[in-house]
Structure 1
């Protein structure tokens, strides 16, 4: 985020994140570029540490990422480690619960949350972006839901109900069942992104959104966001994403058992 945070040092460096604060704007940067910013339990814990603080002076939270890609999804090696330590899926359930808490924290945060997406946003990476209020992507960004091809259910962080609410059931069904990649302009058509710009203009696009929001009175902003969330939630009456951790654990443990017995 060179232009947006030019000359602004990280005010905190966690194991997987860096945060930058400029007055009422807080930027959270996924910072494991050598691993494609893959989501691990450590990253989920770091995100919860930052998001749960909810400083009332913060009016805009930007979720960004270092390196070429926004996020390449969940860390499958860590899933395998969880199953090796607990074949009943306890570690998978705990990780899934963290994921849901993080995505809920982004959605329900009193500040306006903005996702700044470059490169690839895959699986859990797409879920993190989708949990934000506003989403801008580079015109070269790509998205994919590969879970089914990997033997996983699309059950991470409440992704499916959010995506269906934004894009519609028929389109989401096709994306999940085929696992095909789609580009930034299709993502905008699906309302996965609200704005698409050249990658060099990402920071300017974030700033264009942030500036007017930062001028809004904090009480009105907070209540309006809560109202929007409430109205959106009313369109997801059948939201069963609370079961995501159980579904993920059930599928992975069954697959692990079949491979072990076989």
Structure 2
């Protein structure tokens, strides 16, 4: 039996999920995505679900996107493209599960992150990149649409249509500086400080209330759909846990 392509470990309230297929630069093969989806399900159903999930890639690169060797094999087996569609649906599920997770997800980015690898990072709530990282959206040069797994929509939701259009059509390299300027990443640090920066954010998140964090993330995803009663109830529960007076409707609030 082949070794797993994914390593998952838990350190208290923080889980680490590491893609470990450096030979293929952590490409999102079908097997890799199956293992990631299964790992997310396992973490979600653990007693005392972790508060934070750190997603990283072993070796020099974070993730070079879809596995082009696998694409070629699938097209050779079935020229109709059914296999590619199947992979795309799995990618869409993976991105959706990351972005909708109750765990705060942090992408730890080093080296290259390409195509669907950029979308994978964009599906995470927070993104920290090393200053020598380099991203790209080369799909058009490969005569592929920027559509696999809903990657384009994931990026548009994070940074806006205009910026995605620029990167898609010009195919310019996404340096760490440009990624920070465009809001694709939230912080850029020297390679030696990458783990330290991720750990510092994870500790801060864990110190916050679980219910307050979850409700706040829900508000960001669908602010119109979340009723004020649900928000006030979550605030009241959190306040009771910390023995402070809960906010009342019609009075000042913090946001």
Range of TM-score over shorter length: 0.7 to 0.9
- Is the alpha carbon distance of 1:232 and 1:120 closer, same or farther for their aligned partners in structure 2, counting shifts above 3 Å? farther
Between the aligned partners of 2:102 and 2:149, the Cα distance in structure 1 is: 19
Tell me what 2:211 maps to.
219
Tell me what 2:32 maps to.
43
SS at match of 2:148: coil
Measured on the aligned residues, the alpha-carbon RMSD in Å equals 1.9
Structure 2 unmatched runs, 5+ = 226-255
Q: Any runs of at least 4 consecutive aligned residues in structure 1 with deviations exceeding 4 A, and if so which? A: none
Instruction: Quote the offset at 1:228 in angstroms.
Output: 1.6
Equivalent residues, number = 222
Correspondence list, 1:132-147, <5 A: 132-147=124-139
**Which structure has the larger Rg?**
2
Instruction: Quote the offset at 1:62 in angstroms.
Output: 0.3
Check whether the contact 1:70–1:120 (CA below 8 A) recurs between aligned residues.
yes
Structure 1 unmatched runs, 5+ = 1-12, 234-262
Between the aligned partners of 2:215 and 2:202, the Cα distance in structure 1 is: 18
Correspondence list, 1:62-211, <5 A: 62-211=54-203
Check whether the contact 1:143–1:183 (CA below 8 A) recurs between aligned residues.
yes
Between the aligned partners of 1:14 and 1:157, the Cα distance in structure 2 is: 26
Provide the TM-score with structure 1 as the length reference.
0.80
Provide the TM-score with structure 2 as the length reference.
0.83
Tell me what 1:34 maps to.
23
Between the aligned partners of 1:231 and 1:102, the Cα distance in structure 2 is: 23
Between the aligned partners of 2:178 and 2:67, the Cα distance in structure 1 is: 26
Provide, for residues 55-77 of structure 1, a one-character-per-residue CA deviation record: whole Å limited to 9, x for no partner: 34310000011111101121111
